[in-house]
Copies of this chain bind each other. A is one copy, B any other.
């Protein structure tokens, strides 16, 4: 069972944070893969000339054998220099928080959310075992995408 969704959020001074999480999946399912791909980050036409707008991603990465939180800017934008970037970065670890750490925006973040999951893997080595029926597909077709001042961080 694979679901895809367009992902689009607007970051600004008022709403500088967008959180992307893996939805809660019932126990009997295992997530085979889940990722968010950021295709394009661009400044609105009303962004201020000469002002830097910096979008930071905060996510888990594995570093020297341990899971660590990484914070790294994925877009440094400035009208008159760089209005639009196509980072094409992928967040396969489930959760990521985007934060406008500098500038007043608006900044448009566009991409794609993909999720591939199936029924419980009983550990016998056969991973893509059972695909669920139509009904279940409807039920868990949800890719949470929060934008706002919630300030949730992982």
Closest to A103 in B: B45
The tally of residues in A whose CB lies under 8 Å from a CB in B reads: 74
Q: Is A142 an interface residue (CB 8 A)?
A: yes
Q: Distance in Å from the Cβ of A39 to the closest Cβ of chain B?
A: 5
- Tell whether A89 pairs with B111 under 8 Å between CB atoms, given A10-B72, A52-B45, A127-B131: yes
Given contacts A39-B87, A59-B6, A112-B92, contact A144 B65 (CB under 8 A): yes
A13 located at the interface, meaning its Cβ lies under 8 Å from any Cβ of chain B in the complex: no
Contact A7:B61 (CB < 8 A) given known A81-B83, A85-B84, A86-B87? yes
Given contacts A6-B61, A35-B4, contact A76 B84 (CB under 8 A): yes
Give A contacts to B, CB under 8 Å. 2, 4-10, 23, 30, 33, 35, 39-40, 42-45, 52, 54, 57, 59-65, 70, 72-76, 78, 80-93, 96, 102, 108, 110-112, 121, 123-127, 130-135, 141-147
Could you show 23 A-B contacts with beta carbons less than 8 Å apart? A5-B61, A8-B57, A8-B61, A39-B88, A40-B74, A40-B85, A40-B89, A42-B85, A45-B52, A61-B143, A62-B145, A63-B145, A64-B144, A64-B145, A74-B108, A74-B110, A86-B86, A86-B88, A89-B110, A89-B111, A121-B133, A123-B135, A127-B131
